[in-house]
Structure 1
Amino acid sequence: MTYMQALIGFALVAGSMALVPGLDMMMVLHETINTTRARGIAAVWGISCGVLVWAVAAAVGLAALINAFPMAYDAIRVLGGLYLFYLAFSMARKKTDTGEKNGAVQSATGESAGADAGVAGVSAAMRTSNFRECAQSFWRGFLTDFFNPKIGVFYIAIIPQFLVPGVGNLEMGISLGMVHFVESVIVLTTVAYAASFFASRLRNERSQRILGLVSGAIMAILGGVTIADVVKSRL
């Protein structure tokens, strides 16, 4: 297999994976709908950088290291499961806190005025995001991808099959990672723009609370399944 054949073959495999809805898409949807499109796109770049890190690590020997020390990968998966639990809790808590704050405003100023103030506050919050907020979304996206067990399994299993004799593992890892990086940015940025377009229908208090609770529940389930799989493999 030549260098170009490896890139094309990997592009087809990674592109198919990027199109499948999963944890990364959910993170982008959550960030875009509940904050701003800028923060959603920041999460896209964080997720894509996580992809690049996995590609390089797998190419330079992570697969061999994990085969020699299986506990290392189990530790990553447990940390990933715990991080998903944290995300689930933070999403559910944020929506509950938002509902309580809006309820307090309505009680203090009258139901109609409170509703108008709540909508205006949400709209204002959605318009702009500063660098610190975007950096937070970038970091959340990066950690979501880095601790995503599906990404880890994909790279550990697939990358060694696309290493080309005569091409350094680091060079090959960066090349393959950049292919997936570009595909990930394109697909997830499209998701962010689509979510932003439809977000006006989902930014009322009831829709936000439902979305937060559903997203939190799914992440909690994924976290539980990840940790349970690790425990099962050790029994």
Structure 2
Amino acid sequence: MLNERLWGAYCNILENIDPKFLDARVPHGSRPEELSGLFVTSVNDGYAESKNKIMIVGSETAGWNVLTKGERFKCLESYVRSSMDKHKSYFERELGGKNSRGYSFHNFTRAVGKRCGKEGLIYSNLFCFDWKKGSPINTPHFDTIRRHSELLLKKQIEILEPDIIIFANGMVSVPHRREYFPLSECINGRDYSAQGIPNRHLWEFQLRGKTRSFRIHHPSARAKAAAAARTYLLNLLPSV
């Protein structure tokens, strides 16, 4: 039911988007090949009954192709459905996999899932499109990407009502996260500097006075302080 609500909301938000953002082969102004397919979030079938509902907001996902080679765009509704199906299977596979060497985003999501339960995890992104050669921020398409990304993320929060949100999207996109969620909406902030965790690595607040939220560096950050902040955050999260 929740995935159906998300699907309907996504279609409404994207109803006027230029099809070139969804299929690089659409004539009359095709998008550059560097632009990924659309990233939209789905949830586990057991999400509604899960004990801990936790949203992790990352950065854009490299190489996110919704249409298979040779497949053409048919309509927005089927495209969004395919993107959600891809997200669901991808995230289930990542959560069930083994940690990679070093630091990675999904090493962190697996750690959160192990502590808090996998069924209630939400994997979302600050931006709904990726640019293969760096961030989409400096591309001529960014105004469109940012506008739709904000609407999609806020609708996910509205529908899924997570207990906790972890913003782990990295420092480059901080100004745009603050555009979505101004500091005036991030109240009752606290840091853990007294516990030896610098504020720039971990900050807790209530989003709109309602949702317990945290801000950390992207989980691929290798600094010892960033790694220590992730470990400290995991111990703050509720266990299953």
* Bin of the TM-score, shorter chain as denominator length: under 0.3
Higher RCO (C-alpha under 8 Å, 6+ residues apart): 1
More helix by share: 1
More strand by share: 2
